[in-house]
Amino acid sequence: MPSDGFFHSKLTPSGHFSTMVLLPAERTILTVALALVAVCMFLAWDKNVTLALDSYGFSVGLAVVMIAIGQFYRRVRKAERIALSTHVLALFVFYSVPAALFNLLLLPRPFAPIDATLVRMDAWLGYSWPDACAWISRYPRLSDILRQVYTLTLAQILFAFLFLGMANDRRRLHAAALATVFGSLATIFCWALFPSSGASAYWTLAPEIDRIVRPVVNSAYGSELNRLLVEGVTDISELQVTGLVGFPSFHTVMALMSLIAIWPYRLARLALILVNTALLPAILIHGGHNLMDVLGGTVITVISWWLGLRVFEAQDRRLPRLGYAVPAIET
């Protein structure tokens, strides 16, 4: 078991030791986030889009405070478990701000939505969103439970990060954090080339079914997404959207990534298996997704996890050659 104490330093040309504040994976995530900030500012200027940055002030402030706490525990208290957890949570919160803005600033899309194609592909597999909603409408209590499960997807990936950080499992923590960033970028890239708003944007539910099921992403929301794809947006502060991407499903990416990340830990694995068993129908019904959206998210998750591991291992191998002393990694 690695020690919770952790120090790392680098000998400078002047012969003094300087503290390495951020580990390579942490620096990578911060660099990507800052690059997205620059891209967002350019797109907002180029498209003359009004940004209400004050609405993101809490998230940015929280990220700064958490990084400061992490630095204290890394540099002063030598408590790397807390430092790992706070840094990754902070960087993920900070990254999510420009990532969400970037997605919105890509509107409008010049390509026709592919929802009709995805619906046809779903039909080949025997799936239909209206049929699924009609079935769940016979069990209103189950629909309510699935709605709550759907809204906790983000909490699930944050739980996985916190769990791995407190377990001092730097390898799986940083691989998962990198993979989640890669997965989100891949999701946005796929959506930008092949825009879609999901099954709820293609189908209109019967009023009684809509009243009983109350999907989080319903047909009215889907219609608004279709409008945004064509007309774009001039003032982001006026938008009331919780997400744009139909295919592939990023909720699926977050759910599966958290499960893969904590897989070696039996109790945590069993808990997330139970949660994800309910999350699959929740994503389909309350996320207004096609089945193909979930399958696409699964493919992105597998590729992103493989890439996250490769990047982490490449960065970790370079540390001794650069003169850094790093902690052992739990396996």
- Among the residue ranges 175-189, 230-244, 286-300, 317-331, the one predicted with the least confidence is 317-331
226 domain-assigned? yes
328 domain-assigned? no
4 domain-assigned? no
More confident residue, 180 or 151: 180
Residue 20 has pLDDT above 90, yes or no: no
Q: What is the DSSP string of 99-156?
A: HHHHHHHTPSPSSPP-HHHHHHHHHHTT--HHHHHHHHTT-HHHHHHHHHHHHTHHHH
Helix 170-193 to helix 24-47 angle, to the nearest 10 degrees? 20
Assign 236 a pLDDT band (cuts: 50, 70, 90).
confident
**Interatomic CA distance for residues 153 and 115, integer angstroms:** 23
Residue 86 has pLDDT above 60, yes or no: yes
Residue 19 has pLDDT above 70, yes or no: no
Over residues 25-64, the pLDDT tens digits come to: 999 999 999 999 999 999 999 999 888 777 778 888 999 9
Given this model, what pLDDT does residue 7 score?
37
1 domain-assigned? no
Residue 11 DSSP code? E
Assign 11 a pLDDT band (cuts: 50, 70, 90).
very low
Residue 10 has pLDDT above 70, yes or no: no
Q: Provide the number of structural domains found in the chain.
A: 1
**Interatomic CA distance for residues 157 and 135, integer angstroms:** 29
3 domain-assigned? no
Task: Give CA angle at 246 (208, 194), nearest 5°.
Answer: 140
Over residues 180-200, the pLDDT tens digits come to: 999 999 999 999 999 999 999
Given this model, what pLDDT does residue 6 score?
39
Mean pLDDT of 145-152: 92
Three-class DSSP category at 96: helix
Mean pLDDT of 167-189: 97
231 domain-assigned? yes
pLDDT mean across residues, the chain: 88
Mean pLDDT of 123-148: 96
- Among the residue ranges 6-20, 82-96, 166-180, 307-321, the one predicted with the least confidence is 6-20
Contact 312, 265 (CB under 8 A): no
**Interatomic CA distance for residues 298 and 220, integer angstroms:** 27
320 prior amide bond cis, ω within 30? no
108 domain-assigned? yes
Contact 30, 22 (CB under 8 A): yes
Given this model, what pLDDT does residue 58 score?
84
Residue 308 has pLDDT above 70, yes or no: yes
Question: Which residue segment(s) compose the domain that 252 sits in?
Answer: 9-321
Mean pLDDT of 151-166: 93
Burial 196-232 (b: 16+ CB within 10 A, else e): bbbbbbbbebeeebbebbebbbbbebbeebbebbeee
**Tokens linked to 32:** 């990507």
Residue 163 DSSP code? H
Q: What is the DSSP string of 220-260?
A: HHHHHHHHHHHH--SBGGG---S----SS-HHHHHHHHHHH
Given this model, what pLDDT does residue 254 score?
96
